[in-house]
Amino acid sequence: MFVAGVAMIAIGLAMIVAGIFVPVARLGLIGGGIGVLLAGALNAYLGAPSRPAKAPEGMRKAKATILDATALPEQVAGYRMVELTLELQPKGGIPTQVKRKISSGRLGRIEPGRKLDVFYDPADPQKIELA
């Protein structure tokens, strides 16, 4: 999304320049260029990489690998709930299997082997949150 937004900005600028120097369809090119430029700026802004989240107090960041996913009958905001079986891999610690219920809308694609950033409580590794 970010790359498409930057490309749209470049196209919008090219349209505006063409509208200034080409007498045919001047207003159409300038107006269209402004529209594409603004849409590209919004697209680039929404698709820009976000800052990494800070760990909640008492929790640490780690990686977790999806081992299994089971669809549950309940839904949240129109998204099906899924019970994930994760392998928590804390730095310098012992890998631990954890089960966690989550809305499928928060993850996008759910497939075994996918790695997720999570926060976990070192005192209770079963307590995890998505980063």
Tokens representing 50 are: 């976000």
- The pTM (predicted TM-score) of the whole model is 0.57
Domain count, the chain: 2
Q: Distance (Å, rounded) from C-alpha 48 to C-alpha 42?
A: 10
Residues 64 and 124 in one domain: yes
Residues 17 and 70 in one domain: no
- 30: containing domain: 2-47
pLDDT digits (tens, 9 = 90+) for 62-108: 999 999 999 899 988 888 899 999 999 988 888 999 999 988 877 77
Domain contains 54: no
Domain contains 52: no
* C-alpha to C-alpha distances, 70 to 64, 74, 87, 89, nearest whole angstrom: 17, 12, 15, 21
Q: Distance (Å, rounded) from C-alpha 86 to C-alpha 84?
A: 6
Q: Is the pLDDT of residue 50 over 90?
A: no
